[in-house]
Amino acid sequence: MDLREDHMIQATAADSTIRLISAVTTNLVAEACRRHGATPTASAALGRALTGALLLGRTFKDLEYMTIRFQCEGPIGGIVAEASAHGTVRGYVKNPLAEVPLNQMGKLDVSGIVGKGMLYVIREAGFEIGLMKEPYYGSVSIVSGEIAEDLTHYLATSEQINSAVSLGVFVESGIETGQERVTASGGYLIQVMPGADPETVAAIEAAVTAAPHVTDLIRGGAGAAAILEEALGPISFDVLETHPVEFRCKCSYDRAVSIVTALGRDEVEDMLAKDRGAELTCHFCSSVYYLNEAALHEILNPSEQMLM
Ligand code: ZN
């Protein structure tokens, strides 16, 4: 696989007592941030959440959708990221144009733009095979707003799994174009399963602390496996699977028609009279769907072919 393309790996170490997931998400995060016109700090927050949803989602075998939602008081207003079992992810922030000054270390202040609030995790499973299991809901207070620390805290308190989560997004200022863009994004998740040897865990903790930042590794050309090599130091691991990951939304023109249809006859007649059409913008990807006059008439009076 071309390491410049977005990808995610699952791996295991120390007789399966350590579970590892790592991802490079540069292209999908760049696409999401471009679609939403996000500022650098909003891009960093959104990118970390998108990557985090992909990593977290991959830890559940029967998963269909993993949604992480930050409901927060900072200028960004809120973040939603939804990953599927097929390696697709979509998401948005409430205020993509919000921005805050750099923090004391001269870095994008993600915790400052997120602020206090709640982190919600929603896990859906079984729908596609007809089981219709109830979605699982978990929630914790936001502890830092840096996203990775919040996911670590969530995993420890709600799922009782000791984990290390690292997420990073590098936004390059465009000297020639005057526009910033995401040029590196990715992260990893290390989980300690019951029965893990304390010495192994201590060695991993030391290696994680000493490892270069994930975006430095990606900017240097590292793929998901090379990121884990740095994070695990002397501990060897086996890669079980490698998957492509991508930004993909579930919206479509047909879905836009269903939404307008569901508004009811009065509302559709009102749209026809006032605007002679309807315009819908998808929150998740900023795609715009325009239903013209003929499309609205079709909703009110479906043609014979449509009824067949
Ligand atoms: Zn969409």
- Split into its structural domains, the chain has a count of 2
Residue 1 placed within a domain? no
Q: What is the pLDDT of residue 130?
A: 63
* Sheet bearing 237-244, strands edge to edge: 162-172, 181-192, 18-24, 7-13, 237-244
pLDDT band, very low/low/confident/very high, at 303 (cuts 50, 70, 90): confident
Question: Which CATH number is 302's domain given?
Answer: 3.90.1280.10
Backbone φ and ψ for 88, nearest 5 degrees, come out as: -100, 155
Task: Establish if 69 belongs to a structural domain.
Answer: yes
Answer yes or no: are the C-beta atoms of 20 and 208 closer than 8 Å. no
Residues 8 and 243: beta-carbon distance below 8 Å: yes
Whether residue 128 is predicted with pLDDT greater than 80 in this model: the reply is no
pLDDT at 229: 96
Mean pLDDT of 93-108: 96
Question: Is 276 found in the same domain as 224?
Answer: no
Among the three residues 247, 269, 298, which one is the final residue of a domain in this structure?
247
| Residue 61 identity | K
Give the model confidence (pLDDT) of 50-94 as tens digits: 999 999 999 887 778 999 999 999 999 999 999 998 899 999 999
C-alpha of residue 28 to centroid of ligand 1, in Å? 14
> How do the residues of the chain divide into helix, strand and coil, expressed in percent and rounded to 5?
35, 30, 35
Last residue of a domain, one of 231, 247, 263: 247
Q: What is the mean pLDDT of residues 29-55?
A: 97
State the pTM of this model.
0.93
Q: What is the pLDDT averaged over residues 91-107?
A: 96
Q: What domain range is 111 assigned to?
A: 7-247
For ligand 1, the distance from its centroid to the CA atom of residue 94, given in whole angstroms, is 15
Confidence of residue 305 (pLDDT cuts 50, 70, 90): low
For residues 35 and 154, state if they share a domain: yes
pLDDT class of 135 with cuts at 50, 70, 90: confident
Residues within 5 A (CB) of ion ligand 1: 249, 251, 282, 284-285, 287
Q: What was the pLDDT predicted at 172?
A: 92
Interval between CA 283 and ligand 1 midpoint (Å): 6
Amino acid code (one letter) for 28: L
Residues 138 and 279 in one domain: no
Q: 211 CA distance to ligand 1 centroid (A)?
A: 37
What is the 213 CA–ligand 1 centroid distance (Å)? 32
Q: Give the domain CATH number at 193.
A: 3.55.30.10
pLDDT class of 304 with cuts at 50, 70, 90: low
Band of pLDDT at residue 134, cut at 50, 70 and 90: confident
